[in-house]
Amino acid sequence: MRPIHWFDSIGSTMTYAAQLAAEHHPHGTVVGADEQRQGQGRYGRAWHSEKGTGLYFSEILRLPLKPDALPVVTLALGLATVEAIATVTGLSCDLRWPNDLLAGDKKCAGILVQLQNSAIIAGIGINVNQVAFPDEISGLATSLRIQSGREQSKEKLLAALLTSIDTHCDILVEEGKDKILQMFTAVSTYARGRRVFVDLGERTIEGTTAGLTPYGFLLVRLDNGKLETVLAGGVRPCS
């Protein structure tokens, strides 16, 4: 049986899962909550974690991988989330490198991966049954309920997603990074041939996506012909 620690309300499932990982809890341990008071997104942003409507959890993964596989683990988790959402709701989501799931061009789920010594803490947040969002994110965010027109089961989604995470981790460990990169490129409209802005923090670039490197980084062809490797950054469509 998989250990599941579920809370009515928690600060962040990332923090608690990291604590359990530091205490040597096993691979597959899940920490979830109906509400997060300090949900964490990438780059220190907050993750809106309204009570009862979203799915918020972190899983401890102990995988026989080198640390340089971490970016590809993020991509594998995105693929797992796309598969689980399709299975349970019938919705087909896009993946925006590295870790945004989009439905109807708005974000419906995000993935945060952190290392705790040799353990990976895989945090997944899915907007499941929200019917509205705070003003500051309402133009960017959507939910599976809004997109499908009906309420969705968080329990079914969690069960499908935990199975799908196992499957995609097995693919990564047994078939290697290249297989996950191929799968991501096949599913994501952002991986190749998409006109984008990328916020690199100290500067912004504009260009056309040109595939992924063997380590899972995004290649962007600038208009001067130069190829930029994006290690981390916020990718947005040029519309």
Q: Which residues bind ligand BTN (CB under 6 A)?
A: 12-14, 36, 39-42, 45, 47, 56-58, 99-100, 110-112, 123-125
CB of 223 to ligand BTN, least distance (A): 28
CB of 34 to ligand BTN, least distance (A): 12
Closest to ligand BTN by CB, 28 or 41: 41
Amino acid at 173: V
CB of 38 to ligand BTN, least distance (A): 7
Distance between CA 63 and CA 43 in Å, rounded? 25
CB of 54 to ligand BTN, least distance (A): 8
* The two structure tokens encoding residue 140: 């960017």
* The two structure tokens encoding residue 127: 């907007």
Helices marked H in the chain: 13-22, 70-89, 135-138, 144-148, 154-175, 177-187
Closest to ligand BTN by CB, 90 or 139: 139
Give the list of residues 6+ apart from residue 64 with CB closer than 8 angstroms, or none. 173
Which residue minimizes CB distance to ligand BTN? 110
Closest to ligand BTN by CB, 9 or 182: 9
Contact criterion met (CB below 8 Å) for 55 and 88: no
Closest to ligand BTN by CB, 37 or 226: 37
Q: What is the dihedral of CA 84, 66, 43, 4, to 10 degrees?
A: 50
State the sign of the Cα–Cα–Cα–Cα dihedral 221, 112, 126, 50.
negative
Closest to ligand BTN by CB, 125 or 233: 125
Rg of the chain, C-alpha, whole Å: 17
CB of 224 to ligand BTN, least distance (A): 31
CB of 217 to ligand BTN, least distance (A): 17
Closest to ligand BTN by CB, 40 or 209: 40
